[in-house]
Amino acid sequence: MTAPDTDPEALRLSAVAALRRARERTGTLTTCVDEHDLTAQHSPLMSPLVWDLAHIGNQEEQWLLRAVAGQEALRPEIDSVYDAFEHPRAKRPSLPLLAPAEARGYVADVRGRVLDVLERIPLRGGPLVDAAFAFGMIAQHEQQHDETMLITHQLRQGPAALTAPPPPDTADGAPLPAEVLIPGGSFTMGTSTEPWALDNERPAHRRVVPAFFMDTTPVTAGAYAQFIEDGGYERRRWWTEAGWRHVREHSLTAPLFWRREGGQWLRRRFGVTEPVRPDEPVVHVSWYEADAYARWAGRRLPTEVEWEKAARHDPADGRSRRYPWGDADPSPVHANLGQRHLRPAPAGSYPRGASPLGVRQLIGDVWEWTASDFLPYPGFRAFPYREYSEVFFGDAYKVLRGGSFAVDQVACRGTFRNWDLPIRRQIFSGFRTARDAAPGEA
C-alpha cells in the first residue's frame, strides 16, 4: 500500500487549505438564508443551522486551542450547549443558543487564533499534532457538519436558497456491463498510514473475500421506479421483519421527496420540484429500502469488506489504493464531491475515477448502504475520544461507504466509514447490489 505524503510542512499547507475550504462552505450554507431560517428547526431530525455553526467553532476551540495549544477557554459557558451527546437534535432549539451574529463572531475569532497556532506549532511530538492530525480531524468535522447543514437545506420548506451547475455527463458513451467480477482472495482493508484517517478506519489488516459480482454503477432512479411499479412497497416478501414494520407504520411508498403526479415521478430538490431523472443514482432511500430492492432484483447488498475490496484492491500488484483510481487526491475528473453540484451525476459518469476492474462512481454521488453492521476492526483503539466511533459499534447501525456529492474530499477516501440507522432517508444515500460468484464464474 502506497503511503500518502506525510511531510510535516506539506501537511501544514494541506491543513490550512482544508480548514479554509470548509469555512468557505460553512459561510455559503449559513449566509444564503435569513436569520429566521438560521434559527428555525426545519425538521426534528436536524438542528437549527445556527446550532451547527456555533458547534463547529466550539469543537475547533476545544481541540485546537485548548487541547493542542493549551490556551484558556474562550467561552467555557457554552460547552454544554453545544455538546452533541448531551442534547438530542429535537431539543436543541430550546437551548440558549448564540444568535447568528454572535455565532459568526465566535467562530471567526476561534479560526483566527487556530491559524496562528497552525503557523507556528511543530507537527510532531504527540498524537494530536503528529502529521497535523487534530487539524485534519477538525477540518473533517466541519465538513461533516456542512453535509448535515446541506441535509437541513434539503428538508427546509420554501424557495431555493442554494444553486449549483448540474454535474457534467462524463460517461464515455461505451455500453457498460451491468456487473463486474471481483476476484476472490485476500487484500489489505483499512489503513495504518493515512495521516488523517479516523479511529474506525484503523488499523490496516488482511481480509479474505470470496469472488463476487458487483454492480458497475449505483442503482438508478429508473431501476428503482421499476421496483415501485412492481409493487415493491406492497409485497412483504422483499422486506426484513423490521423493514416491513417500518414501511407499514410510516406508509412509505417511494424514496423520500418523491411524489407521483400526472403519470410521472417528481421530486423536491433544494426547493425546486422537478421530474425524477431515471439515469441518476437513486438517493434518499433507507437501508431497509435498499435491502428490499436488492432482494427483489435477486441480488443482495455488498458487505463492507466487499465494497472496500472493489474500491481499493489492485489485482495487478495486489496492493490497496487510497482511492479507486489510485493514490492521487480527488479532482473534478474523478468524482462528484464537495457540493460542486447539488445532485448525483448520471450513472456511468467519471470513467477516470473507475476502479482497476472498472467499477464506477464508488467515490462521490451517493453514500452507498452496505449489508454490514458498524463494528470495530481487529486491533481497534479509540482515539482521541470514545464518542466518535466506539459508542456506536453494534448491530443498531449499518455502514455506508463512498461519500456523496455533499461530501468534501477531506472526509472521503477508500477507507472512510460512515454509519447510520437503517431507517434514515434524509441523508444522501443510495446503493448498489452484489451477488456471489457461482462455481465456474470466478
Instruction: Please report, in range form, the residues annotated as the binding site.
Output: 55, 89-92, 141, 145, 420, 424
Neighbours of 303 (CB within 10 A): 17
Buried-exposed string 404-441: b where 16+ CB fall within 10 A, e elsewhere: bbbbbbbbbbbbbbbbbebebbbbbbbbbbbbebeeee
Q: Are 414 and 269 in contact (CB under 8 A)?
A: no
- The number of beta carbons lying within 10 Å of the beta carbon of residue 237 is 8
Q: Which residues contact 372 (CB under 8 A, 6 or more apart)?
A: 303, 304, 305, 398, 399
Helix (H) and strand (E) counts in the chain = 9, 12
Helix (H, G, I), strand (E, B) or coil at 351: helix
User: What dihedral angle (degrees, nearest 10) is formed by the CA atoms of 26, 29, 30, 31?
Assistant: 110
Q: What is the largest CA-CA distance in the chain?
A: 66
Distance CA 252, CA 254 (A): 6
Strand-strand pairing, 429-430 and 367-374: parallel
Of 111, 127, 128, nearest to 119 by C-alpha is 111
Alpha helices in 297-368 (DSSP H): 304-312
Binding-site residue positions for gamma-L-glutamyl-L-cysteine: 89-92, 420, 424
Q: How far apart are CA 60 and CA 26, in angstroms?
A: 14
Cis ω on the peptide bond leading into residue 384 (within 30° of 0)? yes
Distance separating alpha carbons of residues 7 and 289, to the nearest angstrom: 44
Q: Which helix (H) or strand (E) holds 54?
A: helix 49-60
CA distance 103 to 81: 13
DSSP-derived secondary structure letter, 185: E
Nearest CA to 75 among 97, 47, 90?
A: 97
Which residue numbers belong to the known binding site for Fe cation? 55, 141, 145
29 pairs with which residues across the strands? none
What is the distance of C-alpha 10 from the center of its chain? 26
Torsion of CA 111, 141, 367, 364, to 10 degrees: 40
Set of cell numbers at residue 91: 431539543
